[in-house]
Amino acid sequence: MTHDLSVPALRADRLGKRYGRQWGLRDATFEIPAGSVVGLVGPNGAGKTTLLALTVGLLAPTEGQVAVFGEPSRAHTADTLARVSYLAQDHPLYRAFTVADMLRFGASMNPSWDRALAQGRMEALGIPLDRKIKALSGGQQAQVALTLALAKRAPLLALDEPVASLDPIARLEFMQDVMAAVADGGLTVVIASHVISELERFCDWLLVLTGGRLQVAGPVDDLLARHTLLTVPRQTPSAALPGASISRTDSDRHSTVLIAADPARMAAAQQPGWHADPVGFEQLVLAYLRRPPLGVSRAEVVAS
């Protein structure tokens, strides 16, 4: 877990993946510092799972590359797979194994296996070690899969919809364990999730994908500071505003526009009759999710 914190945990450079004629992901460029917890958001089919599979080395890119801690990810190579712990959406387990067999399997496959963590979690969750995987409830199976992902102690943890099959309490308990591991240092986490309202407490970095394109990428604090909710008279054209309009709602006499603009530029451009309010996390994510996908230039508006 000791990694040079100055090397980015993830760096994607014009990363793309084509399935037949269809691009699953295209032109994704971003750089995420080590120790971040990244929220990866997008509708179904937006390219979230493709991005994760490219990162962890389960897929090879068609274009560009993605590097994990400075080393380009290469599909199906042992050193790429050792640096990442990936929990797939369907959390695959060997159904005929007992829980103890599953943990032994995890230990034999992973040199940095944390036996105390794995056994402690099973005990705390009341999951019997001699039970067969197929005899566990759906929620318990998810917990076993999550435990394998955590106990691998890889410096990058990629979670694809990790908590979808868990009840709210179990979700919180799992994320408490993830946050404890982040607090211990050296762990970078990417969480793909649809539960935007929950992401705000976990994430300090945000990636929004729609239609295989990156809509926005950056540290959450920066993104919130660089966006403003502006209420203006209805006839004000979007071109007259001090930044790109991300979403716009028109009423009879006034319009509410979420714009991407520097706070200083925003303050300088204030006009009488305009009302500026800060933007919340959920509001920001929803605005980018609703925006039709476009070319690369979009993502760069905010990144610059």
Residue 69 or 202: which CB sits closer to another protein? Answer: 202
Between 73 and 228, name the residue whose CB sits nearer to another protein. Answer: 228
Exactly one of 77, 112, 137, 176 binds another protein (CB under 8 A); that residue is 176
* DSSP output for 194-238: S-HHHHHHH-SEEEEEETTEEEEEEEHHHHHHTEEEEEEETT--G
Site string for another protein, 28-67 (x = CB under 8 A): -------xxx------------------------------
The angle formed by the CA atoms of residues 54, 55 and 58, to the nearest 5 degrees, is: 50
Contact present, 231 and 274 (Cβ < 8 Å): yes
Q: Which of these ranges, 73-81, 124-132, 249-257, 270-278, lies near another protein under the rule CB under 8 A?
A: 270-278
How many residues line the site for another protein (CB under 8 A)?
30
Nearest-approach distance from CB 205 to another protein, in angstroms: 10
Tokens, residue 190: 């990417």
Question: What is the side-by-side order of every strand in the sheet holding 37-41?
Answer: 84-87, 156-160, 188-192, 37-41, 205-210, 213-219
d(CA 168, CA 185): 26
Based on the shown chain and the rule CB under 8 A, indicate whether residue 200 belongs to the binding site for another protein: yes
Among 172, 240, 294, 296, binds another protein (CB under 8 A): 172
Which two structure tokens, joined as six digits, stand for 113? 């296996």
Residues that bind another protein (CB under 8 A): 35-37, 172-173, 175-176, 179-180, 182-184, 197-198, 200-204, 221, 224, 263-264, 267, 270, 275-276, 280-282
